[in-house]
């Protein structure tokens, strides 16, 4: 790359020595209009105007002109004449501004270096930060809800902080308790039963009963609930408000448009996605339908604003990453559908290997596929647009996987491994207690559920 000196040629020009303009030789004359710079009211023009007045009326304005000149230009800043603009001489940056710029660059570089080092940091042990004794842990299930701990069973759900402080507790009766989550909003439902309870940051938001047994459910951040209901050879897609008010009801059959395999609601509750599976002439067919309950779907039949058809594939899961982006997981990869008014296929990722597990958050989509050798796997992580961020082989015999922040955790009973998005294996070890379940609740922080309660641990 060539380097250029901004000041080259000022005194060593090939055209000869630098000539001094006439106005610089004569103190009384003004510079030509095109060569003026650094002049403004109170500046060089003002100084000469005051000196000229002193000659006419006999007053001594020279001292006053010098004082005015000093007031305006004694602050270390430079000014451009409005008529010169960028065509004038290069502006000089004040030392104060230069100091600010250098400081900002140093701070940004330091933060970037610290983030890089933290991302490459590895751990070989852990310490116990807190031990919490709980009752009935054997029949309860546990999950992370934005860094807090959810304990739920057949008769009670309880949300508490990592410090053991209760946030809320809700009583109900669910024989097969399951939950769907969107942010801090939960839909606790009875799989195979009909009861649904909606909870938010402050506790219970609503409770209602579906008209048929529930197969799956999804919830929006506002508390809208979509559920697949079983009705013999048919099925229903029911969409409810937080209080159980029916927003929509869609009847389906194996022939038209197919049996519903998965359902998802956008965070704002305006979009609903359903995947269907059908057979025609012995050929397997899948469809993904997008419904809008905002302005885009008002004039559409059944509020449907998009339909996508695939042959010889199944869509077992759907998720909205945001209000306009839906990820449809296939048995051969995944499809990203983008658009709140007219959904389109934004990207498709295909796999030629068997998919063992999927994981995701609002910014990432992950797949674990079978590896090259026996007992080996490959982990693929993509951004929300489908761009690949990680392709990592591993041979850990995992039973579940999750992503939290920039870490991917693989679990197998009390043993677990942690990988960063940079592919570095940050931890590989075993919780020494009798852990029924492990899950992440923060940076390098995990909850180990035991028969007597749980322990909050931190990698070190």
Judged by average pLDDT, the poorest of 47-51, 120-124, 141-145, 407-411 is: 47-51
- Given this model, what pLDDT does residue 426 score? 97
- Digit-coded pLDDT (tens) for 423-442: 999 999 999 988 989 999 99
pTM here is 0.74
Q: What are the residue ranges spanned by the domains of the chain?
A: 22-92
Tens of pLDDT along 322-335?
999 999 999 999 99
Contact 191, 182 (CB under 8 A): no
Q: Are strands 246-253 and 259-265 parallel, antiparallel or unpaired?
A: unpaired
- Which pLDDT score, from 0 to 100, does residue 451 have? 87
**Mean pLDDT of the chain, nearest integer:** 84
Structure tokens, 98: 């230069």
In this structure, what DSSP letter does residue 257 have?
Answer: B
H helical segments located in 26-174: 44-57, 62-73, 95-120
Pairing of strands 415-420, 407-412: antiparallel
Between CA 211 and CA 195 the distance in angstroms is 9
Q: Cβ neighbours of residue 323 under 8 Å, at least 6 residues apart?
A: 266, 267, 268, 270, 271, 340
CA atoms within 13 A on the CB side of 129: 16
**What is Dmax (Cα atoms) for the chain?**
111
Residue 448 has pLDDT above 80, yes or no: yes
The tens digit of pLDDT for each residue in 40-96 reads 444 545 555 555 555 445 555 444 444 444 444 344 444 444 444 444 555 565 777
- pLDDT for position 92: 62
Element (H, E) at 24: helix 22-25
| CA–CA distance, 407 with 425 (Å, rounded to integer) | 10
Q: Are 438 and 431 in contact (CB under 8 A)?
A: yes
Q: What is the pLDDT of residue 280?
A: 84
Split at pLDDT 50, 70, 90, the class of 223 is very high
């Amino acid at each position: 790359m060539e380097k250029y000196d901004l000041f080259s040629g000022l005194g060593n020009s090939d055209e000869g020595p630098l000539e001094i303009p006439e106005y610089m030789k004569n103190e009384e004359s003004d510079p030509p209009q095109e060569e003026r710079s650094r002049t403004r009211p109170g500046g060089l023009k003002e100084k000469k105007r005051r000196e000229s007045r002193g000659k006419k009326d006999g007053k001594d304005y020279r001292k006053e002109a010098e004082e005015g000149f000093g007031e305006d230009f004694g602050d270390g800043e430079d000014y451009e004449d409005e008529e010169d603009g960028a065509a004038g001489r290069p502006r000089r940056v004040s030392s104060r501004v230069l100091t600010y710029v250098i400081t900002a660059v140093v701070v940004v570089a330091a933060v970037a270096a610290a983030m890089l080092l933290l991302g490459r940091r590895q751990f070989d042990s852990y310490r116990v930060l807190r031990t919490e004794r709980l009752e009935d842990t054997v029949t309860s299930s546990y999950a992370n809800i934005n860094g807090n701990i959810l304990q739920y069973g057949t008769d009670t759900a309880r949300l508490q902080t990592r410090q053991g402080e209760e946030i809320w507790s809700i009583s109900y009766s669910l024989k097969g308790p399951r939950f769907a989550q969107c942010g801090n909003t939960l839909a606790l439902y009875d799989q195979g039963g009909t009861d649904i309870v909606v909870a938010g940051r402050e506790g219970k938001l609503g409770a209602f009963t579906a008209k048929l047994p529930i197969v799956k459910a999804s919830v929006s951040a506002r508390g809208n609930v979509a559920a697949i209901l079983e009705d013999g050879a048919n099925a229903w897609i029911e969409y409810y408000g937080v209080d159980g008010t029916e927003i929509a009801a869609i009847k389906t059959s194996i022939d038209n448009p197919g049996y519903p395999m998965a359902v998802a609601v956008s965070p704002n509750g305006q979009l609903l996605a359903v995947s269907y599976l059908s057979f025609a002439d012995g050929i397997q067919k899948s469809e993904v339908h997008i419904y809008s309950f905002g302005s885009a779907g008002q004039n559409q039949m059944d509020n449907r604003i998009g339909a996508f058809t695939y042959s010889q594939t199944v869509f077992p899961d759907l998720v909205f990453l945001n209000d306009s982006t839906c990820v449809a997981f296939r048995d051969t990869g995944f499809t990203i559908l983008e658009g709140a008014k007219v959904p389109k296929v934004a990207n498709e990722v295909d796999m030629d290997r068997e998919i063992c597990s999927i994981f995701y958050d609002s910014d990432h989509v992950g797949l674990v596929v079978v590896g090259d050798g026996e007992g080996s796997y490959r982990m693929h992580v993509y951004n929300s647009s489908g761009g690949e961020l990680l392709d990592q082989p591993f041979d850990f015999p995992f039973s579940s996987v999750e992503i939290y922040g920039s870490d991917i955790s693989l679990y197998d009973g009390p043993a677990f491994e942690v990988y960063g998005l940079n592919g570095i294996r940050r931890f590989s070890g075993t919780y020494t207690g009798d852990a029924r379940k492990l899950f992440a609740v923060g940076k390098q922080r995990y909850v180990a559920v035991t028969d007597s309660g749980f322990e909050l641990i931190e990698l070190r």
